[in-house]
Amino acid sequence: MSVGELSRGLGLTTVTIRHHLEGLMDNEIVAEPSRRPHRGPGRPELTYALTPKAVESLPRNYHELCSCLVEALSEALTPEQVSEVMQRAGRRLGESQGLGPKARLQRRMQRANAFLESRGYYPEASSDSARLTLLHCPYREVAEGWPIVCQFDRALLEGLLATRVEIVGRIVENEPACTVEIHPEGF
């Protein structure tokens, strides 16, 4: 947006707008201005935009979007079909990030832990790689209303680890963590 557009939209003078833009640029909230060609004669207009840092700090509403999507799927499909969709999506993501079945289980566990950590699950693996504890559920609010979402996580883990897993404890069932048993014998 230009200084003029901001001034009109906010009801502030252009001097005030420029003053605040300088502070926002100093704090890396607003990017340096770029030139927008002016229609007709005159100099190009300077426009300002948010930086990626600013965009990251804005509120997100993924919870509501995900809940609406799961609800729409549940209305349009049978429970078995919804489960199949969740598993397909989870497995696809897991397989795209995993090492595949030829890698040693320990390496697959390391890759899965790194991926899960980056997504906010806060995983802890047992020393024998037979159990994985997920201390946080990034989908908790959705899973509380739609437990079918847990099928996504199970399939995600199977895709990441290229082996069969079983969720034996769930945060949404008032457990302190989601607990996953890993069955290295495969699928």
In the chain, domain spans: 3-57, 62-183
Looking at 59-63, 73-77, 121-125, which range is the least confident one? 59-63
Q: What is the pLDDT of residues 99-125, one digit of tens each?
A: 999 999 999 999 999 999 999 999 999
Mean pLDDT of 166-176: 95
- Residue in 128, 94, 86 with CA at minimum distance from that of residue 111: 94
pLDDT bin (cut points 50, 70, 90) of residue 58 is confident
pLDDT of amino acid 181: 96
Chain mean pLDDT for the chain: 93
Percent of the chain with pLDDT over 90: 82
Helix (H/G/I), strand (E/B), else coil: 59: coil
pLDDT of amino acid 15: 95
Task: Indicate if the pLDDT at residue 185 is higher than 90.
Answer: no
Q: Which CATH class is domain 62-183?
A: alpha beta
pLDDT of amino acid 129: 74
Task: Indicate if the pLDDT at residue 186 is higher than 90.
Answer: no
The structure's pTM equals 0.74
CA–centroid distance for 70 within its chain: 16
CA–centroid distance for 5 within its chain: 33
Sequence-ordered list of residues with C-beta below 8 angstroms from that of 70, at least 6 positions apart, any chain: 82, 142, 146, 148, 149
CB 147 within 8 Å of CB 178: no
Task: Indicate if the pLDDT at residue 12 is higher than 70.
Answer: yes
pLDDT bin (cut points 50, 70, 90) of residue 171 is very high
pLDDT of amino acid 187: 59
- Residue in 160, 150, 154, 155 with CA at minimum distance from that of residue 110: 160
pLDDT of amino acid 45: 85
Q: Which residue has the tokens 């300088």?
A: 22
Looking at residue 172, its amino acid is: V
Sequence-ordered list of residues with C-beta below 8 angstroms from that of 8, at least 6 positions apart, any chain: none
- Give the number of other CB atoms < 10 A from CB of residue 183: 13
